[in-house]
Structure 1
Amino acid sequence: MRAVSSLVAAAIAAVTLVGCGGGHPHGIPSRFDDADPYAWRQNAPDTYPVHGIDVSRWQGAIDWHRVAGSGVGFAFIKATEGGDVADPLFDNHWRGAAAAGIPAGAYHFYYHCRGGAEQARWFLENAPPRAGTLPPVLDIEWTQSRNCPRRPDPETVRAEAQAFLDTVRLAWGKTPIIYTTVDFWEQNQLWRLGNYPFWLRSVAGHPHDTFGHRNWTFWQYTGTGLVPGVRGQVDLNAFAGSEAAWQAWLAAATL
């Protein structure tokens, strides 16, 4: 009887855990997986209900309907980098996400060897304003490119980032999102840019711990996620709020 009771108790516990949205040993939503998981002990990503991916040419062809069926709630898609590189799969990914009903936004990967306004014009040439989309994104971090090893001083970084943001906001009529990493955030004091929606990369700790309790809108919690419909690894991200908060944010952001 004790053995049977133990089995019943274990089954009830498992059902309860799944019902609460847990059940994954890696602390991420059980509908996904991670090729190189972090041992989340508290404030794990699966405490948030809305998750999405960000993609570029490196993910190759994507089965967006499978992605949508896996529970992905949003996608950020790379459009451009620097002042002269366009992602060759941007249009394919954009159309695929739209056909699958996944809210999507375009992002630009910033290089520190060109001015912010120039890069904004290149981004707008390849990702012109579109109705009903997520806001555009400035991905600004230190690059590892041999062609652009520059690391300007913080004042220059912020001034050029502001030039990009102002140019894109004027064209899109939306406040852009800023994506960045912990080291770049700290070294360039990006909080001084003002009250932008921030998308923060923190793969070994909750953003409130690694970014000093900064308010955030999106959290990139792993770069080695596994999602049905995507071959290989992909970044996974969480939205900072409930399902109801997401629907309210989405309605306002996609006007």
Structure 2
Amino acid sequence: MPVDSAPNRATSRHQTARRPLVTEQARRNAAHTTAALGAAVGVVTTGAFALVMPSTTGVPSIADAAEIPTSLAANAVALPVDPAPAHRSSSTLGTLSPVSFVVNAADTQTPADSTDPDIAALDKGGKLADQLAALHAQAAQEAAENARIDQIVAQGGLDGWIAEALRIMDMPQSYAPGIKKIIMAESGGNPRAINNWDANAARGTPSQGLMQTIPSTFRKFVAPSLANRPITDPVANITAGVRYMIATYGVDTLVSGGRSNHLGQYIGY
């Protein structure tokens, strides 16, 4: 049969009643220990509430708390130490993360009128230098061409006369071949040639000179600077004949070496 446990309950009740009360000195020690732990973890008590504050000092170990009751020591936990540098302020509440800003590409462009003045001056100087070099090159080319014409003129003959006539009329020397072809067809290159058998001769105004011009045509079309020269002057005669052909038939006829028929034969102008 079951054993009555009433005597045991009575014995435990009596033992509890005989447990000695906590002395005044024990209460003071407990209070002292609680205050020490509160200082370690930053506890501020206000009435019935306690606020835990971060502490900048190290956390004392359990062994540093004098006379800690067994019940408190069993529940004590060591707080982790902040590994941050010592100079970090205790008022830091968190870590700030870097913020990325998107910059509009248009805002970073340099205005067109903000060019460095020194660079602009260099650019302008470079362009002026290029223009000056081009002018020098053109002058050198013209000088070389003039020297060539001078040599032709100095040698005399038909080529020299044509070259001088074109220079006086300020026309390209590229017209020389066509003019020479016309002269050879008209007079054979003889500056004193006179036509005494055509219609002009019958009227008393024979064609004369390298390009076989009649006196009235010569006076009207001769280069003004050569107006005082005779109709048989080679250079003056060429200027009169060339100017007349351009005015009457156009410069293309001069370039092609005169007019021609459907068989390609030369036709006098």
Interval of TM-score (by shorter of Structure 1 and Structure 2): under 0.3
Query: Which of structures 1 and 2 has the bigger CA Rg?
Result: 2
More helix by share: 2
Question: Whose relative contact order is higher, 1 or 2, with alpha carbons under 8 Å and at least 6 apart?
Answer: 1
Scaled by the length of structure 1, the TM-score of the pair is 0.28
